[in-house]
């Protein structure tokens, strides 16, 4: 599945080049320095943290104060205001995710003739945020709002694999508190393997004959904020239907596009045929544990 590029995308990606904007970078460096500081900072402190002289940042700090991104806390110190927070919540992350995902998932379902769904983690379970049914009307789908197990599902494992160690451990603990029968001493090894592969692909442990493929939707830090999943249902009456490797390729491209659209990192999960076959065998064995 190919996405059309905008003129800006073409310019930025051409020959791997990027074009610097020194003034903008200076302002962003100042904002980031103030955001990461628990205490107000003097201009000298700010200059040291961003690796510039006081003279280089003086006008930029004054501009940020005039635009109400930064405030003068006392005679010599500056702090961040709530303006960035307010701007961020005008368009919430979940709303933005759904806006960008809707048309993309509809095209994906149409191309594959399979349903797809988007899940997010919450307190030891997943919740289906959005789903698109199989266009032909015959297939498997999970309703929006449904709760899905974490440790034994492809999407749940993806949501765990792409997290920092402490977050992963906490979520495993929460998931086990909800479903202790899903305990698996090999779970961290499985999650490490998923992170290395870039996605999860396993037979369903709940529906016979169903095969789930899931990719992470990543934020700017490379953490999975959602999982995009196709529950692959084989149709014995349709010989020309997309195969699991073809579904995996299309789903991976869709997930990378969605991550890019919301400002996240793009997962490097392009596997050749041999690597993909190895990954599928590995995941099949993991599901049977």
DSSP conformational letter for 181? G
Q: What mean pLDDT do residues 136-159 have? A: 86
| Residue 237: predicted pLDDT | 65
* pLDDT tens figures, 260-282: 998 888 765 444 443 444 444 44
Comparing 38-42, 53-57, 59-63, 267-271, the range with the smallest average pLDDT is 267-271
Q: How many CA atoms lie within 13 A of 64 on its CB side?
A: 27
Domains of the chain by residue range = 18-87, 93-287
> Hunting for tokens 């919301």 — which residue is that?
262
User: Cα–Cα distances in Å, from 98 out to 142, 171, 201, 226, 268?
Assistant: 17, 23, 24, 11, 23
User: Which carries the bigger pLDDT value, residue 152 or residue 209?
Assistant: 152
Q: Where are the alpha helices (DSSP H) in the chain?
A: 7-13, 22-35, 43-50, 54-66, 83-90, 93-112, 154-161, 165-178, 187-197, 244-261, 273-287
What average pLDDT does this structure show over 159-177? 95
Class of 93-287 per CATH?
alpha beta
Structure tokens at 67: 């635009």
Question: How many residues are recorded in the chain?
Answer: 289
The residue assigned the tokens 């830090």 is 221
Query: Does 18-87 carry CATH code 1.10.10.10?
Result: yes
pLDDT(146) > 80: yes
Task: Indicate whether 138 pLDDT > 70.
Answer: no
Tens of pLDDT, residue by residue over 188-210, are 999 999 999 999 999 887 777 78
pLDDT, mean of residues 35-47: 92
Instruction: Report the distance separating Cα 187 and Cα 164, nearest Å.
Output: 15
Q: Percentage of the chain surpassing pLDDT 70?
A: 81
Indicate left, alpha or beta for 217 from its phi (over 0: left) and psi (-120 to 50: alpha): beta
Tell me what pLDDT residue 267 has: 60
């Amino acid at each position: 599945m190919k996405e059309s590029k905008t003129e800006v995308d073409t310019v930025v990606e051409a020959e791997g080049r990027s074009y610097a904007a020194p003034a903008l970078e200076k302002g962003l460096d100042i904002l980031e320095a103030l955001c990461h500081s628990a205490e107000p900072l003097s201009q000298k402190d700010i200059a040291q943290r961003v690796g510039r002289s006081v003279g280089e940042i003086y006008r930029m700090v004054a501009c940020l104060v005039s635009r109400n991104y930064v405030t003068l806390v006392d005679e010599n110190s500056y702090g961040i205001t709530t303006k960035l927070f307010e701007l961020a919540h005008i368009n919430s992350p979940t709303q933005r995710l759904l806006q960008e995902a809707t048309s993309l998932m509809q095209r994906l379902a149409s191309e594959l003739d399979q349903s797809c769904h988007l899940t997010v983690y919450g307190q030891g379970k997943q919740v289906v945020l959005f789903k698109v049914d199989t266009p032909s009307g015959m297939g498997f789908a999970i309703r929006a709002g449904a709760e899905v197990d974490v440790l034994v599902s492809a999407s749940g494992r993806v949501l765990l694999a792409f997290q920092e160690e402490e977050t992963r451990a906490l979520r495993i603990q929460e998931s086990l508190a909800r479903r202790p029968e899903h305990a698996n001493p090999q779970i961290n090894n499985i999650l490490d393997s998923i992170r290395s592969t870039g996605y999860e692909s396993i037979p369903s442990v709940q529906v016979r004959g169903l095969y789930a493929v899931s990719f992470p939707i990543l934020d700017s830090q490379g953490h999975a904020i959602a999982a995009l999943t196709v529950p692959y249902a084989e149709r014995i009456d349709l010989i020309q239907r997309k195969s699991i490797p073809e579904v995996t390729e299309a789903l991976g491209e869709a997930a990378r596009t969605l991550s890019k659209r919301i400002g996240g990192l793009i997962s490097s999960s392009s596997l050749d045929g041999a690597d993909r076959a190895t990954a599928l065998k590995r995941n099949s064995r993991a599901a049977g544990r």
